[in-house]
Structure 1
């Protein structure tokens, strides 16, 4: 009887296990993810969103003490008040309602609008306000909030009168006038009393940090001449309103000083509509009744034919003594007498240009809005503009929050043309005096980067050509070399034909006493003056155990680390791929203290400002990432349970596999297997690759219509093995490097009886797509191939343009990913040897090519060259061009389409399924948009 019961139970377990269904293409939209984690400052409340791929997001407010949760459908952009008593958020319209309105092609003003939600966290009472555009809380103060309303709903009352003869001219005038932005109601609410006050026609607004002041601009109304126009300052505690600037104009870029005693902004008050605006800088101290114009067009120090920029940021120094703002050359107004159809439209390329015309055109809007940093001493008896940057030295950064008497500036002027083939430029760095504008060059032609220490005592820079960090002492001008010896602080595994990039700087300690710098595994503490030996802060524990430690900044407002601080370290085990967190007292000589390390991916650690409470994401391939809360990682509180429906599907496992290549190189990769894997069966396998991906062993692979990469979880659930090998490269031979690592990894797996050696496919996109194209020219080990955006002819691609950025492609081959390491004319044989196009007659593998006419990274005609070559040779080949879409598919409908085609293609060649019509017959242009060819047929391709 007991034996029979055991057999029955075993049979039941097997049936239950077998009943798990494979994923299908209908599951994507409802699949969940978490985002937007926050903690209230007191650590009592956590907020997070659970999103679906297509549909409505849901906001959760979780009380970490009681376990109670407040759930708000469709809410996003949550913010807690500084005192942790309130939370506010935006409630979006229903996704379905918004979709329906767009289908009906409703105008933007007639689309459903957002709603403001405000929750009192002490009693869970919620207040909702319809048609709200934005809201703000003071950064550090509490007790007040402000929100800006959307336009009133006029869709039901807007019944225009029939036009009379001659009304056309009036319509034109109305259209021109309506171009002026008209403000809406701003509501300022006292959260403690519930009282609120409304201000009309507001266009922009900002709280001071302490919340005691609120500055806003009002546009006035074309229908009400008495409506408020100008800039106003509200004292929230007293309820008094001060007019800073009266009259119409455009005012923006408001900023308060640190102590909330001064406010500044830019604006123009010209009553006439002009293409070129004449901006001024306005300033107000609380002791004054109105704002002063402290910088205008004839201000001393302002360069000739320059003016204040309306696009530049405005900032006070932290001590409030200096005001930084942007200036720019006065633009040339468009000549309205020129008729477009009577003049030539031509791009003139000149070999002396800093940038190629496509890059100039791509960046034209950004460059037209470029501003150059300048400063004025607010308390000077003889104030004048001090330009800190110009067209030849355009980039500048404040030092010590603007309190330093200099800024750090850089330029690559004179070195820009070389970016065509190097991808980067050599830069000069300057210290620019904020009192005089005098520049002092401190670094010349640096191949690397430089930055200032928090207190401004040092400039630290990394010279990539030498692999060395240096500091420049601002007071003494002494240059100190920080690192020497065998420890490398740049990428030890660099396999591109360029200088290795630095691992980076973690942080500085208080008073600029030390700087924390990363090597591959550990964190080092260097004295910037070079005195004393460098200290391995993690005690060599990282290199000894092959764990990479990185500083985890849990206080976003902190600029430095205090001397005896205990800091959090993100930890990644390079051998096992496990992840976690350690703690380290930076004054201690002990090794880091383990908090948690597990077979998961931990990410997005957030700490409460005023409490030792943390939230973070945790997940792995088998477990959808969830939000957890903890105080010490010894006990964790799971706040979410995303994707419970996953239990109903045949999921999978992820295993780390290792092998040696034919040349003896050790390599590794990930092998994904179905949850119901049976070693006594044979499985088809798809090989997917892109550089090195094995570090993602514990990364969750959500089923989704992907932009281009393989939909791993879908194929694994449907009975495929998926193998993801790492690749290391030898300069000059990227194609053969792929053969060395990918094919050897496949051969090592083929030794397992459960791998069907005759049913192996490959898939890759972009650089991976190139390698797919190359691999199928080398042998016939793959039964099917899918390549997205491949380069197949390096000789024709070499001199082309990456249209998304306007950059020339030469740098890619000489310095970066394509890894040729020489020009086309220096080593033409390498370009030919690595180009699949010249070996197409050897291809016997059926292949699908995705090449989109909107691709801004790889010229889509590369895919055409491959298709037409294989077509002429009579090889089975298909090409998909998703019209107007990019290098990676951005349109969700296209992503969904390609998932089906990819599944049908691999199912036919690797599983023996029926072929779809799009493969057997194609889709004639006359049927485009009417038929998609997904129907299966008994015909063969």
Structure 2
């Protein structure tokens, strides 16, 4: 028996039980004075020590746990704790983003009211340091239902006089007085270049040394070309060390030498490691260090991927990635699998390693090796319409992919898992564009799902609907029509596309009942629907035998509907429970006999 005034907290405590049992408070011991000072307590449970261990920057979310569970907005009170005395000073109540303590311990920077704020520890005065900036640091490209979310905070300068901020494209040096703003990259927004990720060359650094080069990974947003760039704070403007290349890099720099190790990959190139040096904005020397996939040359493999441009029904200009099938011939149309989630076009140069998985994107290589093209469209969202947003984005995307001549318009499949599974289960109620579809762990009733529990964490689903993927303005009582018009089960009678639903009985993310009720509704109406359940599995498939079985069934399913091959017995007539073990052995033998990129 468990009693708690808020059952949501009970669920979270059950999930966190072991962590709570082993939880320890942070304290500091000073040998010279033999003093022991406890820095965290039951309210300020977490914190990070700053330079010279003078201050601890802590946070307390206890007053907001219930509200945050409802709307998903993470709130916390920010505290400074004197590490010598334990005295606490409140910096900000109900802050909505993580706070940062400067390297010298004299300033706390946090996000509030659409601006970065600097709290002076000595004077206790707060300055909105970006209020007079020539650009906004609100992430205007974030389409979630969140009030003015911030763009990326890159860090403090080593001397604690500046912070480096990113406005989704350029990197800015902003003075803590709120009067100094310098665009260090210059051309990011104008040329649609995202200077997004700083490459840390010294893991022990305390602040960014502006007297030394700053290295970043950059991406051209429309072409997807990537580069490693160098920025010199004294001379604004980024220099592309690699040149802009059709490849994805994962670079690491030696601490005391101008030598890099980088994993370099494309859609057709395995991400082996290389030792690289640069000169004059180009690669001066490169030596391959690994050969982790030597058998790849003996496998039918995709020759690469292309970008597809399209405009959504709501006027948004988006892109998708079209991965070509092995043996691709210009002018020939191929059966195509459309994999959906949210934004995916930045994965143009990502290599899909051979594997067995319940994730659609993890199976790209397996499908292209068997003669399928794979299409990954971007989806953007309008508030209160997550399902319709998928319709407005995906249908124009697929039509644009068909116009390339690569995609056989009569043989296009659709597959999504989790949030992608929801969008798949909704799309088949709104269009007959797809020959067949697979929805993994789908949300199908937005109203009943709203107040369910995300059992893997113990939290309520409500915040997911309001400020995360759901993108609803509030609960279903306030916006009933929006929840209903975006619920797949409300339109089950319209489904004409053959559908597989994968849903497992121990799913701790999307309740099993979501898949079961949708399946039963479709079955009642004599729709072409199959339910696959792997007993004991969670939100995905963890056991190798189950991943293999699922991957095999997907291959047979797609081959039946998109290639016109004869349907296997399980797909045509089903398998009686008493013959399941024999059937599974036969499936295993068939898989072992196939030569595929796995």
The structure-2 alpha-carbon separation of the partners of 1:454 and 1:688, relative to structure 1 and needing over 3 Å to count, comes to same
SS in 2 for 1:548: strand
The answer on whether the counterparts of 1:628 and 1:637 sit within 8 Å (CA) in structure 2 is: yes
Whole-angstrom CA distance in 1 between matches of 2:166 and 2:45:
30
Q: Supply the distance in 1 between the matched residues of 2:513 and 2:384 (Cα, whole angstroms).
A: 24
Question: Which residue does 1:415 correspond to in 2?
Answer: 64
Residue in structure 2 matching 1:369, options 12, 19, 22? 22
1:670 and 2:321 are equivalent in the alignment: yes
SS at match of 1:385: strand
Using the alignment, how far apart are the partners of 1:468 and 1:748 within structure 2?
40
Instruction: Work out whether residues 583 and 595 of structure 1, in 8 Å CA contact, stay in contact via their aligned partners in 2.
Output: no
Q: 1:473 & 1:541 partners in 2: Cα distance?
A: 33
Say yes or no: does 1:552 pair with 2:207.
Answer: no
1:640 matches 2:290: yes
Alignment of 1:541-940 (within 5 A): 541-549=187-195, 550-603=197-250, 605-632=251-278, 633-652=283-302, 653-710=304-361, 711-932=363-584, 934=587
Distance 1:613 1:444, change over 3 A: same
Q: Which has the higher contact order (CA 8 A, sep 6+)?
A: 2
Question: Which residue is 1:443 aligned to?
Answer: 92
The separation in 2 between residues aligned to 1:924 and 1:347, in whole angstroms, is: 42
How big is the shift at 1:898? 0.9
- 1:622-648 Cα offsets, whole Å, 9 max, x none, are 111111112323221122233232223
SS of the aligned residue for 2:261 comes to strand
Residue 503 (structure 1) aligns with: 151
747 and 609 in structure 1: CA distance in 2 versus 1, 3 angstrom threshold:
closer
Change (3 A) 1:545 1:895: same
Any gaps of 5 or more consecutive residues in structure 1? 1-345, 937-941
Q: Give the superposition deviation at 1:658.
A: 0.2
| TM-score, normalization by structure 1 | 0.60
Shift of 1:753: 4.9
* Residue aligned with 1:871, SS: helix
Conserved 8 A contact 2:73-2:467: no
Residue 356 of structure 1 aligns to a residue in which SS? helix
1:460 pairs with 2:109:
yes
Other-structure match for 2:3: 348
Q: Does 1:379 align with 2:28?
A: no
Q: 1: distance between equivalents of 2:173 and 2:277? A: 28
2:201 & 2:567 partners in 1: Cα distance?
Answer: 54
- Once the two structures are TM-superposed, the CA of residue 872 in structure 1 deviates from its matched residue by 1.0
Gaps of 5+ in 2: 591-598
Give the direction of change, closer, same or farther, for the CA distance of 1:867–1:707 in structure 2 (3 Å limit): same
SS at match of 1:596: coil
TM-score (norm 2): 0.93
Cα contact 1:595–1:634 (8 A) shared by 2: no
CA distance in 2, matches of 1:594, 1:527: 28
1:480: how far off?
Answer: 1.5
Once the two structures are TM-superposed, the CA of residue 555 in structure 1 deviates from its matched residue by 1.3
Which whole-Å CA distance do the structure 1 matches of 2:404 and 2:320 have between them?
A: 16
2:145 and 2:296 map into 1 onto residues whose CA distance is 44
Structure 2 SS opposite 1:361: helix
Specify the structure having the higher radius of gyration (Cα): 1
Q: 1:681 to 1:597 in 2, by over 3 A?
A: closer
- Structure 2: distance between partners of 1:563 and 1:679: 50
Partner SS for 2:127? strand
1:490–1:520: 8 Å Cα contact kept in structure 2? no
Question: Hey, what's the Cα distance between the residues in 1 that align with 2:121 and 2:567?
Answer: 71
Deviates more, 1:584-593 or 1:697-706: 584-593
CA deviation vs aligned residue, 1:211-245 (integer Å, no higher than 9, x gap): xxxxxxxxxxxxxxxxxxxxxxxxxxxxxxxxxxx
Q: Deviation digits for residues 804-837 of structure 1, max 9, x if unmatched?
A: 0011111111111012222111111111111111
Once residues 779 and 612 of structure 1 are traced to their aligned partners in structure 2, the CA distance between those partners, rounded to angstroms, is: 55
Q: CA deviation at 1:533?
A: 1.9
> Aligned with 2:165: secondary structure?
strand
- The separation in 2 between residues aligned to 1:513 and 1:391, in whole angstroms, is 34
For 2:402 and 2:27, the matched residues in 1 are separated by: 65
Q: CA deviation at 1:347?
A: 2.4
Cα drift, residue 432 of structure 1: 1.6
> CA offset at residue 755 of structure 1?
3.1
Secondary structure of 1:822's aligned partner = coil
1:533–1:867 Cα change, 3 Å: same
Alpha-carbon contact 2:560-2:566 (below 8 Å) kept = yes
Q: Equivalences for 1:98-247 in 2 at 5 Å?
A: none
Q: Summarize the Cα distance change of 1:692–1:425 in structure 2 as closer, same or farther, 3 Å threshold.
A: closer
* Paired residue secondary structure (2:359): coil
Is this contact kept in 1: 2:68–2:75, CA < 8 A? no
The answer to whether the Cα contact below 8 Å between 1:708 and 1:888 also exists between their aligned partners in 2 is yes
Name the CA distance, whole Å, in 2 between partners of 1:737 and 1:915. 34
Please list the CA deviations of residues 229-284 of structure 1 after superposition, one character each: whole Å capped at 9, or x if unmatched: xxxxxxxxxxxxxxxxxxxxxxxxxxxxxxxxxxxxxxxxxxxxxxxxxxxxxxxx
Counterpart secondary structure, 2:164: strand
Q: How many residues align?
A: 580
CA contact (8 A) 1:473 1:529 kept: no
Give CA deviations for 1:663-708 in whole Å, capped at 9, x if unaligned: 3321210111224223443321111111000001001112211232
Bigger fraction of residues in helix = 2
Instruction: Determine helix, strand or coil for the equivalent of 1:503.
Output: coil
CA distance in 1, matches of 2:289, 2:274: 5
